[in-house]
Amino acid sequence: MLGSDVMPVGAWWGLAAMAVVVHLGVYVPWMPTPGTRTQALLAPVVLAVMAAGFHVGEGHAVSGCLGAYVGAMLSMTLCVAGRQKDVARWAVAKEAGVPEADLPHIPASVPMRLILLAPLLTGAGLVLGG
């Protein structure tokens, strides 16, 4: 592991704060319904609790947990980037109770980005911070 020599812990806190600002300023406004906006608003809190749990429960370094937090936060926005209208149509239909078989199509690139980016960016943050 590269360890926390990459950046001091204070810089990781700054990056984590910037990741939250990006999430709240970009990702949350893309969400079309009150339910999806609420979920998007809760994501930074849920991820923060998870990162704290990894620090306390698993003994990971604070900088590593913050790096993983930054990666996870950014991966959500990057997964939807460019496809927010497709995701919005799906979310509106889903909340309206449209049956699964009749939901609008989400391009395969959205779940593929999630499958690739979430572990890659979260892991990179953990390694760089840890």
Task: Please write the tens of the pLDDT for every residue from 40-91.
Answer: 999 999 999 999 998 898 888 899 999 999 999 999 999 999 999 999 999 9
| pLDDT (0 to 100) of residue 70 | 95
Mean of the per-residue pLDDT values for the chain?
90
**What percent of the chain is modeled with pLDDT above 70?**
96
| pLDDT (0 to 100) of residue 60 | 81
| pLDDT (0 to 100) of residue 4 | 56
Q: Which residues contact 12 (CB under 8 A, 6 or more apart)?
A: 4, 62, 63, 66, 67, 70, 129
Torsion of Cα atoms, 20 then 4 then 2 then 47, to 10°: -30
Domain ranges of the chain: 9-129
